[in-house]
Structure 1
Amino acid sequence: MQRRRFLAVTLGCCAALPRIAAARQSAPGQTLRVALIGHSGQGDYGHGVDRVWAQIRGARVVAIADADPAGLAAAGQRTGGVRGFADYRAMLAEVKPDVVAVCPRHAHEHRDMIVGALDGGARGVYVEKPFVRTCAEADQVVALARRTGTSLAVAHRNRYHPALPVLQKYLADGTLGRILEIRARGKEDQRGGGQDLWVLGGHLFNVATLFTGAPTACSATIQQQGHPATRSDVHEGDEGVGLIAGDEVHARFDTQRGIPIFYDSKKALGSAAAGFGLQIFCERGVVDLRMDIEPLVHVREGHPFIPDTTPRAWIPLTSAGPGVPETVPGLSKRILDHVAAVEDLLACLGSGREPLCGPTPASETVEMTQAVFASFAAGGPVTMPLTTRTWPLTREPIV
């Protein structure tokens, strides 16, 4: 198995974007000017989205915005005393950066921050997950990004892992036979259920659909303390995700390739040694992916549903192939620190391709999350793409 390049490889849909106007392009070798949008106390600066730029050649942070005065001062110290703004709109209008990082972990301001960056002429935008809160917000942002020719990427970090294209080739070669199903579980800590789905489910969906194609339908059940959830269980979720329900979620997605994806999350069920990840069940083996752990991928050959008296070892699959030691130096840090993701985004500027986790796959994670709540509200399966693009839950009676 040959090692695949992952900064140049294109996964999934790579629709051509309009060329960026000449006036917005940097001269060869020119340093890209980066502006950071954070909001201390409202998602802060995400998982290091403000710090990654110190590791990126050809990029320099020139300004930072934070509506919280103390947070702005602290962020300014972390970034070497760059110009600070209380209003990100004022920053974008005055600085006119090449690249904007939308850093808050909370999702409720993402749409407006992204739109501000796109309207302000940014060539690239990097967004902490979750992308946005609804399909309607995603539709708006994606349409504007394509109209302006802006490269847009979302921080589902595992999508940029170089072992994934190797795994795709390994499975396509038929070594394990046909894929039967994919099973994903959330982190299942104190956020288990609806909150886990919103905050971390997107990471799982973003990887799973690489092997199944887009979802075509969703059927879900939601429970609260062991009983079917009702209207009274609908409440405002944490981290700005909007209305959610349930401390236990079970969902099934039908997909374009006929491979079902199952998602489950139950509050306080997970542990540090298990949980957050997915398994791909095939005719002649199982693939296991543990999110944010290195190696990301392990493979075990043998029929997944027939007991075997002979122990079957889990073999790591790296960017160099199954059972071959990883050859990318410092890979875990490159993935977890967003370095691989940001390098991919910058490589897309003016190239005509979308980032590996660009508008199409990022919007898909939002729609899959929203579909779970839509199925709950409808009391049965819903087809996808969803016809209702706004909030699927209300505090009105659920039928």
Structure 2
Amino acid sequence: MAKTWRVGIIGSTARGNYGHGVDVAFTKIPDVTIVAVADHDDAGRVQAQKRVGAANAYSDYRKMLATKQLDIVAICPRWMDQHHDMIMAAAEAGCHIYMEKPFCPTLKECDEAVRALEMRHLKLGIAHVTQYSPVLDTVLSIIKHGEIGEVLELRGRGKEDRRGGGEDLWVLGSHVMGMMRSIAGGNASSCIATVFNKQAPVTKANVVEGAEGIGLLAGDHLRAQYSFPNGVSGYFASKRGAGGSPTRFGLQVMGSRGIIELQSGYLKPAFILQDSSWSPGRTGKTWKTITSAGIDKAEPRTDGTYEGGHIAAIRDLTDSVEGQRDTRCSAEDSRAIVEMIAAVFESHRIGAEVELPLKTRGNPLSLLT
């Protein structure tokens, strides 16, 4: 008989809420029973319980974890200042985790979370939904088969809206870092970066408390370069108010014989230009669409929504538990993404290239002079 997964939902009304519909995604999976919800806010808790049809509701998630025997805990709040404590409590209760991104605000907290999960053999999946997209699988196959030649560079940008700079790096750049790691096939080994505020290099005077539980934050413009295995260089930049329409948010994969453009999101099409000049105006070659079925083929799937991405990620989590394998975006992967973000601020702080893993495990901005 198929296993029925007992799930507890943790939300935080007005402090990250339930993320991008993480709670509702669990209601669309047949072999899931939502046992309980937890939310410190009375009205939010009532609404959440009704929304997901949970039999029980708690004001304190720790009491839920102690009272109910759960298989999986959904850590839904978008604000990540609560993530570490919630992960640690879920791990202590012996629960696997699906959670909203980003992972944790500091590498010290990431390290503690990874250790807590590893020592109990627990799995974690996180809502970097592009990592679960069949389109990404197709892109990786296309690259492997040499359709754009040797991968030379990876170029990513955030949305560059009012959050451009440091906040964009955390909130949206985290998706780009995940895509970079997938294409490059491993962790970045070094980073060199500069962070600016009103065109001047950021100093201690520019450090503020970031929105949405990010912690110490600075910068309205930043640029970073990463070194990856096999000599691949990765670049990320974001400047406040510089975003285009349509947005440039995503990743360009620059190969010796062409380019692939990846959008962030689940089942969003990618695009390929099989042109070594990287300039369709010079050769007359045109961009083609990449779907889960391949180049220039119609998309056969119909689950291309953010909720579809959550469902795919939750399925990946349950399959990883049953198959005793890592998830497609594990706790270790999530920590590596945070490490790439922290490296930007650490490189700026010391004014030089930094090696990864970083020696500094706290927020580098707390050490800025």
TM range (shorter): over 0.9
Residues 106 and 209 of structure 1: CA distance in aligned 2, closer, same or farther (over 3 Å): same
Give 3-state SS (helix, strand or coil) of 2:213's partner.
Answer: coil
Query: Deviations along 1:337-359, whole A, 9 cap, x unmatched?
Result: 51111111111113220110112
2:73 equivalent to 1:73? no
Task: Tell me by how many angstroms 1:294 deviates.
Answer: 5.2
Partner residue of 1:283 out of 240, 246, 256: 256
Structure 2 equivalent of residue 143 of structure 1:
115
Structure 1 equivalent of residue 87 of structure 2:
114
| TM-score, normalization by structure 2 | 0.96
Instruction: Determine the C-alpha separation between the residues in 2 that align with 1:267 and 1:304.
Output: 30
Instruction: Determine the C-alpha separation between the residues in 1 that align with 2:266 and 2:37.
Output: 31
Structure 1 equivalent of residue 171 of structure 2:
199
Superposed counterparts of 1:31-42, under 5 Å:
31-42=4-15
2:101 equivalent to 1:129? yes
Query: Deviations along 1:223-252, whole A, 9 cap, x unmatched?
Result: 111222211111111111111110111001
Tell me the matched-pair count: 368
More displaced 10-residue stretch of structure 1: 353-362 or 331-340:
331-340
Instruction: Determine the C-alpha separation between the residues in 2 that align with 1:167 and 1:55.
Output: 28
Partner residue of 1:86 out of 49, 59, 79: 59
The AA in structure 2 aligned to 1:65 is: A
Task: Tell me by how many angstroms 1:71 deviates.
Answer: 1.2
Instruction: Determine the C-alpha separation between the residues in 1 that align with 2:127 and 2:120.
Output: 21
| TM-score, normalization by structure 1 | 0.89
Q: Is the 8 A contact 2:170 2:341 kept in 1?
A: yes
Task: Tell me by how many angstroms 1:377 deviates.
Answer: 1.1
2:169 equivalent to 1:159? no
Task: Tell me by how many angstroms 1:176 deviates.
Answer: 1.4
Instruction: Determine the C-alpha separation between the residues in 2 that align with 1:166 and 1:88.
Output: 40
Give 3-state SS (helix, strand or coil) of 1:338's partner.
Answer: helix
Partner residue of 1:269 out of 209, 230, 242: 242
Give 3-state SS (helix, strand or coil) of 1:131's partner.
Answer: coil
2:309 equivalent to 1:353? no
Instruction: Determine the C-alpha separation between the residues in 1 that align with 2:306 and 2:171.
Output: 22
Instruction: Determine the C-alpha separation between the residues in 2 that align with 1:208 and 1:397.
Output: 28
Task: Tell me by how many angstroms 1:393 deviates.
Answer: 1.1
Partner residue of 2:300 out of 327, 336, 341: 327
Instruction: Determine the C-alpha separation between the residues in 1 that align with 2:62 and 2:304.
Output: 35
Task: Tell me by how many angstroms 1:331 deviates.
Answer: 2.9
Instruction: Determine the C-alpha separation between the residues in 2 that align with 1:322 and 1:375.
Output: 39
Instruction: Determine the C-alpha separation between the residues in 1 that align with 2:210 and 2:146.
Output: 42
Structure 2 equivalent of residue 182 of structure 1:
154
Structure 2 equivalent of residue 208 of structure 1:
180
Structure 2 equivalent of residue 258 of structure 1:
231
The AA in structure 2 aligned to 1:339 is: I
Q: Which runs of 5+ in 1 are unaligned?
A: 1-27
Structure 2 equivalent of residue 249 of structure 1:
222
Task: Tell me by how many angstroms 1:321 deviates.
Answer: 1.2
2:23 equivalent to 1:50? yes
Partner residue of 2:36 out of 63, 75, 79: 63
Task: Tell me by how many angstroms 1:80 deviates.
Answer: 2.2
The AA in structure 2 aligned to 1:77 is: K
Task: Tell me by how many angstroms 1:43 deviates.
Answer: 0.4
More displaced 10-residue stretch of structure 1: 331-340 or 274-283:
331-340
Task: Tell me by how many angstroms 1:221 deviates.
Answer: 0.6
Residues 241 and 304 of structure 1: CA distance in aligned 2, closer, same or farther (over 3 Å): farther
Q: Which runs of 4+ in 1 moved over 3 A?
A: 304-310, 334-337
Task: Tell me by how many angstroms 1:131 deviates.
Answer: 0.8
Task: Tell me by how many angstroms 1:268 deviates.
Answer: 1.1
Instruction: Determine the C-alpha separation between the residues in 2 that align with 1:42 and 1:222.
Output: 28
Q: Is the 8 A contact 1:281 1:304 kept in 2?
A: no
Give 3-state SS (helix, strand or coil) of 2:180's partner.
Answer: helix
Give 3-state SS (helix, strand or coil) of 2:22's partner.
Answer: coil
Residues 100 and 306 of structure 1: CA distance in aligned 2, closer, same or farther (over 3 Å): closer
Query: Deviations along 1:167-190, whole A, 9 cap, x unmatched?
Result: 112111112111110000001111
Instruction: Determine the C-alpha separation between the residues in 2 that align with 1:96 and 1:362.
Output: 26
Instruction: Determine the C-alpha separation between the residues in 2 that align with 1:382 and 1:73.
Output: 48
Q: Which runs of 5+ in 2 are unaligned?
A: none
Query: Deviations along 1:6-47, whole A, 9 cap, x unmatched?
Result: xxxxxxxxxxxxxxxxxxxxxx42321110011111100000
Superposed counterparts of 1:20-31, under 5 Å:
28-31=1-4
Instruction: Determine the C-alpha separation between the residues in 2 that align with 1:242 and 1:166.
Output: 37
Task: Tell me by how many angstroms 1:160 deviates.
Answer: 0.2
Task: Tell me by how many angstroms 1:134 deviates.
Answer: 1.4
2:362 equivalent to 1:390? yes
Query: Deviations along 1:61-103, whole A, 9 cap, x unmatched?
Result: 1100011112111212212253110100000000121110000
